[in-house]
Amino acid sequence: METAEHIKYLVREGQLLAEAAEEAGEDAEVRTCPGWRVRDLLRHTGMVHRWATSFVVEGHTSYRPGSGEPDLDGEALLEWFRRGHDRLVTALTEAPDTLECWTFLPAPSPLAFWARRQAHETTVHRVDAESALGLVAGRSPVGPGLAADGVDELLCGFHGRDKSRVRTGRPGTLRVRATDTGDAWTVRLSAEAPRTTRSDDGPADCELSGPAEALYLTLWNRLPIGTPAVAVSGEDRLAHLWRETSAVTW
């Protein structure tokens, strides 16, 4: 997926997130993030947007922490979120292809990395905001192409790092297959960090198959393992291992 497409999705998903948050109200429970209210979601996502913007605009070449979450509520919080989202979109749109700055996952370029990462950060949290309206799977669809791209970022990016906690003393192979896009990934699980290839070669001990959107939401732990849209075959212990250990940390 090209950078321009990621930015297009970032625009849409940020607008949908704000609309859902406004409709639900800041005190509404975010069902997909136990313990969070809508205000927590807006503060977190708005902080991440500003954090990402700082790397793109200021060109920091090493890690820098975010500036923290604001003590805002109500209309002021919603407006703060929208301003930060707009600034991020502007920063990515105006950044040169030659941008040099810090990143933390493999990507063709820093600009491609930040556009992709923030598109998925915002999409997943848009689903969270819509869950506060009682719509656990999200009332707005995640397109198959974006969803498959997000599965790829999660499996090959986040869980391609040595810090992944998805580990097991009983090695096994997990296959993830998107039935609508034709994408497939083979994830080798062991006592070491997972190793993923973009293929469906060889046998698998467990397979998750279904539309890319359902896989995206399941693997990001926004839908439960066993949701009707995703078929689980083989050793379901590997699917449950994913559920229990795959929460992403920076």
The model carries a pTM of 0.96
Please tell me the predicted confidence (pLDDT) of residue 250: 67
Q: Which long-range contacts (CB under 8 A, 24 or more apart) does 29-32 make?
A: 29/132, 30/128, 30/129, 30/131, 30/132, 31/131, 31/132, 31/134, 31/136, 32/127, 32/128, 32/131, 32/136, 32/221, 32/222
Query: What is the tens place of the pLDDT at every residue in 33-66?
Result: 999 999 999 999 999 999 999 999 999 999 999 9
Please tell me the predicted confidence (pLDDT) of residue 136: 60
**C-beta neighbour count of 17 within 10 angstroms:** 28
Architecture of domain 3-131: Up-down Bundle (1.20)
CB-based contacts of 70, cutoff 8 Å, min separation 6: 43, 46, 47, 77, 80
Please tell me the predicted confidence (pLDDT) of residue 139: 78
Q: Is the pLDDT of residue 138 over 70?
A: no
The candidate with the shortest Cα–Cα distance to 215, out of 250, 249, 185, 245, is 185
Same CATH topology for 3-131 and 144-245: the answer is: no
Q: Tell the residue number behind the tokens 């890690």, with chain if given.
A: 63
Mean pLDDT of the chain, nearest integer: 96
Q: Is the pLDDT of residue 194 over 60?
A: yes
| Portion of the chain with pLDDT greater than 70, in percent | 98
Domain ranges of the chain: 3-131, 144-245
Please answer whether residues 66 and 166 qualify as being in contact, where contact means their C-beta atoms are separated by less than 8 angstroms: no
* CATH code reported for the domain at 144-245: 3.30.1050.10
